[in-house]
Amino acid sequence: MSASTPADETNPAVPAVKGTQANPFVLGSRASKLALIQANLVMNALRHAHPSLAFTIATVSVEGDRNKSQALYLLGGKSLWTKELEVALLDGEVDIIVHSLKDVPTTLPEGCVLGAVVAREDPRDSLVVKEGLGYKTLQDLPEGSVVGTSSVRRVAQLRRSFPHLLFQDVRGNLDTRMSKLDAPSGPYTALILAHAGLARMGWAHRISSDLSAPEFLHAVGQGALGIEVREGDKRMEQLLKGVGEETTEWCTAAERAMLRVLEGGCSVPVGAATSLQNISSNESEAIVQAKLTLQGSVTSLDGSVHVQKTVERTVRSAQEAKSVGEECARLLVEAGAGSILEEIGQDRQGRAEKVTEEMKGAEGVPQ
Ligand SMILES: NCc1[nH]cc(CCC(=O)O)c1CC(=O)O
């Protein structure tokens, strides 16, 4: 059956042509507001690149969305935000999945691959201060202020630099968290949230300041959108050309390779910051060479032990970018990251119930 055979609705034995109004390509997304904003970004890019094809979005509920009572830190499941979407992908119910890249485990299930990574928003974390308070930075916050975040990475790094602040878990989607912050009798003076999520949800005006490297490193993949496809789906690979962005693909390839070696998911206190400079491109604007700088860090949960390394190298492919990430992970392990992560693993397994309330959130609840 050739791909151009017209759909025959009266005869189910004749497969419908994909990409028509009657049988559009389906983008799989979680149902949250941010996930749908992101899926729409990708759908618009696909429609722009392929004006004659039809695309639609289908939402899939994932375990992380359903299981709201259990602390993520204790669940520790790496595919909490992706598994049901991947089942739908492999079953052919959806043709691609749009994810927040930071929620995508570094190892994908058999038959699934990352088809493209879309241009990144600002990857940093941001400080959002309670309405009516004039503080601009974490330095400005008075002793004992309660900072809401449900990410162990953020808490670990912040404890180190701001021992006078208190950190407390905050859950719910972004809009819920913002109303918890602004509630007059609420406990929080400020929240730490991803700049990207805030910007995409229209909350950028509430950002007081951004937390920057080298003092503070963001999550691996933060701010980027990852598009997952079926391995060997040549048609989709072809359609995704022009939707992905190489600078982001190389930077996030390095970050994810680092995390893969460290064997962490998004629920470990691993930080990253990556830049690509001196970029030279060929006539079709593909990058041929660039200087990649990756900063990586691992911090103990209480902030008392912190290792941080920087690797800078000229790279000529995403594959070479990965080796920069692996090199950075090796340097981190040599500097003691292994024992920090091991201790956290034991903590999660053996003493999970003793984890303090504020540490329960892992990297947090994806929006
Ligand atoms: N932690 C969950 C999560 N996963 C993705 C985003 C949105 C930002 C992004 O795409 O990285 C967020 C919210 C946040 O961390 O504040």
Regarding the beta carbon of 197 and ligand 1, being less than 6 Å apart is answered: yes
CA distance 351 to 360: 12
| Beta strands in the chain, from DSSP E residues, in sequence order | 25-29, 55-59, 96-100, 112-118, 125-129, 146-148, 166-168, 190-194, 207-211, 225-230, 270-281, 287-299, 306-315
The CA 5 to ligand 1 mean position distance, Å, reads 42
| Nearest CA-CA partner of 119 in 53, 201, 44 | 44
Name the more confident of 62 and 184.
184
- Is residue 233 flagged as an active site residue? no
Regarding beta strands 207-211 and 270-281, do their DSSP bridges make them parallel or antiparallel, or are they unpaired?
A: unpaired
Given the residues 65, 103, 125, 169, select the one marked as catalytic.
103
44-82 per-position pLDDT tens digit: 999 999 999 999 999 998 887 776 655 555 454 568 788
Question: Using an 8 Å Cβ cutoff, are 194 and 223 in contact?
Answer: yes
Regarding the beta carbon of 157 and ligand 1, being less than 6 Å apart is answered: no
The distance of Cα 313 from the centroid of its chain, to the nearest Å, equals 24
Across the range 197-220, mean pLDDT stands at 98
CA distance 297 to 66: 32
224-268 per-position pLDDT tens digit: 999 999 999 999 999 999 899 999 999 999 999 999 999 765 568
Instruction: Supply the pLDDT for residue 69.
Output: 55
| Residue to mutate, 33, 34, 175, 195, ligand 1, most ligand atoms under 8 Å from C-beta | 34
For residue 342, what pLDDT band results from cuts at 50, 70 and 90? Answer: confident
Q: Please state, in angstroms and as integers, the Cα–Cα distance from residue 13 to each residue in 1, 16, 93, following that order.
A: 11, 9, 18
The CA 197 to ligand 1 mean position distance, Å, reads 6
Instruction: Supply the pLDDT for residue 2.
Output: 45
Instruction: Supply the pLDDT for residue 295.
Output: 98
Instruction: Supply the pLDDT for residue 343.
Output: 85
Quick check: 350 pLDDT over 80? no
Regarding the beta carbon of 364 and ligand 1, being less than 6 Å apart is answered: yes
Q: What are the two backbone dihedrals, phi and then psi, of residue 130, each rounded to the nearest 5 degrees?
A: -55, 135
277: left (phi over 0), alpha (psi -120 to 50) or beta: beta
Regarding the beta carbon of 194 and ligand 1, being less than 6 Å apart is answered: yes
The CA 1 to ligand 1 mean position distance, Å, reads 43
| Residue to mutate, 29, 100, 178, ligand 1, most ligand atoms under 8 Å from C-beta | 100
Q: How many residues does the chain have?
A: 367
Regarding the beta carbon of 366 and ligand 1, being less than 6 Å apart is answered: yes
Tell me what the pLDDT averaged over the chain comes to.
Answer: 89
Q: Please state, in angstroms and as integers, the Cα–Cα distance from residue 361 to each residue in 168, 171, 292, following that order.
A: 10, 8, 32
pTM for the model stands at 0.89
Domains with residue ranges and CATH for the chain: 125-219 (3.40.190.10)
The CA 268 to ligand 1 mean position distance, Å, reads 15
